[in-house]
């Protein structure tokens, strides 16, 4: 009887735990917008959000080639960003409803196309093989790459891309 009670309690605990780990919100329904004025404005677009959370906390990160900057709130302003920057925009959104929390995170690389900030497409479209033209010009070099006028005696030298030594 004790074993049966123990099995029932374990199964009930696993079922309760599985129900609590189910995501209540939908991170895919959240996007962000950018606006270029003087600096960079970013904001969270929650018009497509599925539920109405009790509270929401937003943390922004925007990086250029020199530094990363942090901001908080539904929108943030980054005066250090200019249109010549390639930037990384990221956010973490913490959504809370009925004691359940969900964290939505996103990170994108953006470039300014002259009018708007657009996603930087980092998918390679082609890979070209590099070819080197090897020339055997009979020139002689030491191990530091300096050209020599004559073959050295007793030391290693390079001729036609091969190591040699004379005794």
Residue numbers of the domain that contains 158:
133-167
Tally of structural domains, the chain: 2
pLDDT band, residue 23 (cuts 50/70/90)? very low
What are the helix and strand counts (H, E) for the chain?
A: 1, 12
- pLDDT in the model for residue 124: 67
> In the chain, what percentage of residues exceed pLDDT 70?
80
CB within 8 A of 4, min separation 6: which ones?
none
Helix, strand, coil tally for the chain in percent (to 5):
15, 45, 45
* String of DSSP letters for 98-118: TTEEEEEEEEEEEEE-SSSEE
Question: Which residue has better confidence, 131 or 41?
Answer: 41
29 and 87 in a single domain? The answer is: yes
- Distance between CA 38 and CA 31 in Å, rounded? 22
The angle at the Cα of 102, spanning 98 to 106, to the nearest 5 degrees, equals: 150
- pLDDT in the model for residue 22: 46
Q: Is 12 inside a domain boundary?
A: no
Task: Find residue 97's DSSP bridge partners.
Answer: 100
Burial 136-151 (b: 16+ CB within 10 A, else e): eeeebeeeeeeeeeee
Does 37 have pLDDT greater than 80? no
User: How crowded is the C-beta side of 54, counted as CA atoms within 13 Å?
Assistant: 8
151 and 107 in a single domain? The answer is: no
List the CATH number of the domain containing 61: 2.60.40
Does 30 have pLDDT greater than 80? no
User: Three-state DSSP class for 140?
Assistant: strand
What average pLDDT does this structure show over 42-67? 87
Does 21 have pLDDT greater than 50? no
Diameter over CA atoms, the chain: 97
Say what the pTM is. 0.56
Does 79 have pLDDT greater than 60? yes
Classify residue 130 by its DSSP letter.
Answer: P
Q: Is 98 inside a domain boundary?
A: yes
Q: Is 6 inside a domain boundary?
A: no
């Amino acid at each position: 009887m004790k074993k049966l009670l123990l099995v029932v309690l374990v199964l009930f605990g696993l079922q309760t735990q599985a129900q609590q780990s189910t995501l209540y919100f939908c991170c895919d329904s959240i996007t962000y917008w950018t606006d270029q004025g003087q600096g960079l404005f970013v904001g969270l677009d929650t018009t497509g959000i599925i539920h109405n959370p009790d509270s929401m906390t937003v943390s922004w990160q925007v990086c250029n080639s020199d530094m990363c900057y942090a901001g908080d709130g539904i929108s943030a302003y980054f005066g250090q960003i200019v249109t010549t920057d390639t930037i990384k925009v990221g956010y973490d959104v913490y959504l809370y409803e009925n004691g359940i929390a969900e964290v939505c995170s996103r990170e994108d690389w953006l470039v300014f196309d002259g009018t708007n900030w657009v996603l930087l497409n980092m998918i390679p479209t082609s890979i070209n093989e590099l070819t080197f033209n090897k020339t055997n010009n009979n020139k002689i070099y030491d191990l530091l790459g300096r050209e020599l006028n004559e073959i050295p005696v007793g030391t290693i030298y390079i001729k036609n891309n091969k190591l040699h030594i004379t005794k």
